[in-house]
Structure 1
Amino acid sequence: MNYQIKASSLSNEDAVIHIKESNIDFGTTPKTAEISPNPAELFLGSFAACMLKNVERFSSMMKFTYSKATLEVNASRLENPPKMDNIIYNLTIYSDDKKLNIGLLKKNIEKFGTIYNTIKLSCNISGTIKTIENV
């Protein structure tokens, strides 16, 4: 598999990532630092997208149903060298399905997630998966 994206920016303005038919704005200037995602947050967003895509993928393969999944990701950054040092996630799956095997799901996400596996080569990743029954 190969992937391709495009990105563009104007001097003293923010930037845009162009992916298929989507455009994702992100901040590159101090004036939008508090309102637009920065590159580090987009990086974590990619990690989150990988995990949530795999929840959907493995729900079919593992034959469980869920109504919703939410994910919180926190990371710390080293200054020297500048890099992500530690990522902690908390994944919550809303499901009443007794066939949902959280341990196996976590193992599959960690083994087969493309972004997950790329990141774990240079950064510590830890996290939890829990279920909440649908209301």
Structure 2
Amino acid sequence: MLFHVESERIDAHLSQSLCKSVRIGLDTDMAGNPDAFNPAELLLAALSACMIKGIERVVPILKFELRGVKVIVDGVRQDVPPKMDSIRYQIVVDTDETDRRIDLLHDNVKKYGTVYNTVAPGTDLAGAMRRA
């Protein structure tokens, strides 16, 4: 699979990324821009999207009954060298499935997530999946 994203600077306060037919505002202002995601927030958003997409992929295979999903992600950045030192997440599923089946769903998210498996080796990444 190949992916393509183009990003460009709009001005000293905002940049944008273009992918398919979508534009996303990027906070590239050194003082911060409350109307856009900064790069670290984009990484966390990509991780949460990966988790939700992974759930969507395996729900039909596992015949897992699901009413909704919420992912909460928090990251801690270290300054020297600059990197995400740790990421903690909670995946909250609205389901009547057993705890064992929820654990199975979580295992699939961790095993088959592209972004998850890209981030995990270089970051202290940990979290849990729980019932709503």
TM over 0.5: yes
Q: Report the Cα offset of residue 31 of structure 1.
A: 5.9
Aligned-pair CA distance for 1:93: 0.5
What is the aligned partner in structure 2 of residue 11 from structure 1? Answer: 11
Counterpart of 2:128 in structure 1 is 128
Give distance in 2, aligned partners of 1:20 and 1:63: 31
Q: CA deviation at 1:34?
A: 2.8
Q: Is contact 1:86–1:125 with CA below 8 Å preserved after alignment?
A: yes
Q: Is the 8 A contact 1:87 1:123 kept in 2?
A: yes
Distance 2:99 2:107 in 1: 16
How far apart are 1:32 and its partner, in Å?
A: 5.0
Please say if 1:56 is aligned against 2:67: no
Once the two structures are TM-superposed, the CA of residue 96 in structure 1 deviates from its matched residue by: 2.3
* 1:11, distance to aligned residue in structure 2 (A): 3.4
Aligned-partner residue type, residue 115 of structure 1: V
Misfit runs of 4+, over 4 Å: none
Which position in structure 2 is the counterpart of 1:41? Answer: 41
1:1-135 equivalence runs, <5 A: 1-30=1-30, 32-98=32-98, 101-132=101-132
Corresponding letter in the other structure for 1:48: S
C-alpha contact (below 8 Å) 2:14/2:33 kept by paired residues: no
Check conservation: 1:64, 1:100, Cα contact below 8 A. Answer: no
- Secondary structure, in 3 states, of the residue corresponding to 1:121? helix
Aligned counterparts of 2:36 and 2:11: Cα–Cα separation in 1: 16
C-alpha separation in 2, matches of 1:58 and 1:122: 26
Is contact 1:62–1:100 with CA below 8 Å preserved after alignment? no
Partner amino acid, structure 1, of 2:49? A
- Paired residues in the alignment total 132
Quote how far apart the aligned CAs of 1:29 are. Answer: 1.4
1:43-84 Cα shifts (integer Å, max 9, x gaps): 110000000001111111111121110010001011110000
Identity of aligned residues (%): 30
- The gaps in structure 1 that reach 5 residues or longer are none
TM-score of the superposition, structure 2-length normalised? 0.92
| RMSD (Å), alpha carbons | 1.7
